[in-house]
Amino acid sequence: MSHSITWIDWFLSQPYGQIFCRIDQEFLKSHLNDGDIISQFTNYKQAFDIVLSRSFRPKDNPRIENDAVNIYGLLHAKFLETEPGLRSILKKREETVFMKCPRYLCYKCTCIPIGIPSKFGKTGLFMYCPNCGDVYAPNDPVTRKIDGGYFGSRYVKKMLKSHPEITPNHEPEVHIPKIFGFDLAKAKK
């Protein structure tokens, strides 16, 4: 009885993996020699092979498997900046994988994930509400522990520009244009 699962399917099925988008193989392979990412890992090639593996069984090598998650996460932030990436996040948002804005006058507007600061290894993930422009700590403790660098904030700025339909027309209760130095007012223009 053989039971084989690709690493990506395994990763996306984990409790912390469900918030991530599926990166297509072409995009992954086009970043095999990405200098920004290579320099951050000692066993880059081995870890990348895990990300691309078609038959994966966890716990063979936890340290390299952890690097595989980090590599996927860093490429995920880059992928979200592409049009297919933006569309994947919009699809997840429609499926309401993400939390709703807790602000009453945002009428349960669905948030999108944002990393503040964008840099990997700095902090956990926040949720950005396109209606009030504010950011919130995720209400789910698993999501709260995800590295903000796996999503970043650059894609959010792109999203507001290229998909303005995500911003509903409800007047938010209070408008706070700048949170954690992320210039949202500018990003919305």
Q: Which residues of this chain interact with Zn ion, rule CB under 5 A?
A: 101, 103, 106, 129, 131-132
Nearer of residues 37 and 99 to Zn ion, judged by Cβ: 99
* Closest CB 189 distance from Zn ion, rounded Å: 19
Helices and strands (H, E) in the chain, number of each type = 9, 5
Q: How far is it, in rounded angstroms, from Cα 46 to Cα 67?
A: 9
Nearer of residues 89 and 111 to Zn ion, judged by Cβ: 111
Nearer of residues 85 and 113 to Zn ion, judged by Cβ: 113
* Closest CB 2 distance from Zn ion, rounded Å: 48
Closest CA to 187 of 168, 159, 152, 147: 159
What contacts 136, CB < 8 A, 6 or more positions away? 99, 101, 102, 111, 126, 127, 129
How many whole angstroms from its chain centre is CA 69?
12
Nearer of residues 101 and 160 to Zn ion, judged by Cβ: 101
Here the tokens at position 72 are 């996927």
* Closest CB 85 distance from Zn ion, rounded Å: 23
* Closest CB 69 distance from Zn ion, rounded Å: 30
Nearer of residues 23 and 101 to Zn ion, judged by Cβ: 101
Q: How far is CA 102 from CA 32, 67, 84, 108, 148, in A?
A: 40, 34, 29, 7, 20
